[in-house]
A and B are shown apart, each in its own frame.
Chain A
């Protein structure tokens, strides 16, 4: 059985390089038969694809997808900056 750190590294490399994802901000933790994905993506579809690509790299393991979809809220009050020069 592969060490947890190598499993996590392999899944992260796949999430970075797979053209279905190209997601660099997902943190993968592997612990025995369990894999947990954490981070943020821009849509529910991208969240699903992250789990799909991770699952392909971890056959037989249980992938728990805790990735969330980033909110896009309306702008808030402007911030006034004092001139530095």
Chain B
């Protein structure tokens, strides 16, 4: 049994430093790993990334993150990635990581992902160069994530993205903007690797639970959706139970 904590869209900046931290005390009693599903900063600046690093430092469990669209706003995504890595986080960008945890070997692969939409209501690589570039960007990012997932040799595989792999977890958002919130390419990538769980954020007004066409559970962990500091999902044998959780700090 592996306990995966996850949250996204914390949108940290100096004005809300310490907003999440009090709830992270004792997270090691609740979870074996913490996944951060992008939009870690509000404006995508390096000083904001310093707040992120401080908020999630020294938790006693591995922290694995991807960036979101807000983290790209000031063209500082490389500096943000470097800073977070220096603070001890693993930051995925079409890559994967394997972690030996008490409950088994966990593989996490992911990246930001991108939009484009979902079957029957999606953009395609056709027509103007701008449209082709938009869809190609989404497809190539998803293909990279799919390869990284398939390359994992672990007991459990988790796909971690910012954009959504399915429409189901967008329920609550205006349907007209679904193509800007995710892409089915990401679900296809996860299903190509028989992923055990897909974690994403981005859709603040969406819903927590969904499923890929291949049957993998999808969880939208955007903090405004959870309204909690993080959620915990247990991966393990069917019917097995998590350890009794301790009261969170």
Contacts and interface: CB of A to CB of B under 8 A. Distances in A.
A60 interface: no
Nearest to B1: A80
A83 B228 contact: no
Contacts, number: 98
Interface stretch (A2-10, A28-36, A37-45, A51-59): A37-45
Interface string B211-223: 0001111000001
B90 interface: no
A78 B15 contact: no
B156 interface: yes
Contact of A70 (B215, B227, B233): B227
B241 interface: yes
Contacts of B214: 84
Given A45-B15, A84-B217, A78 B232 contact: yes
Interface residues of A, number: 25
B235 A70 contact: no
B194 interface: yes
B238 A82 contact: yes
A25 B205 contact: yes
A81 interface: yes
Interface stretch (B16-24, B78-86, B112-120, B133-141): B16-24
B156 A83 contact: yes
Interface string B1-17: 00101000011000110
Contact of A71 (B30, B197, B205, B227): B227
Interface of B: 3, 5, 10-11, 15-16, 19-20, 23, 30-31, 42-43, 70, 73, 156, 194-197, 204-205, 214-217, 223-224, 227-242, 245, 247-249
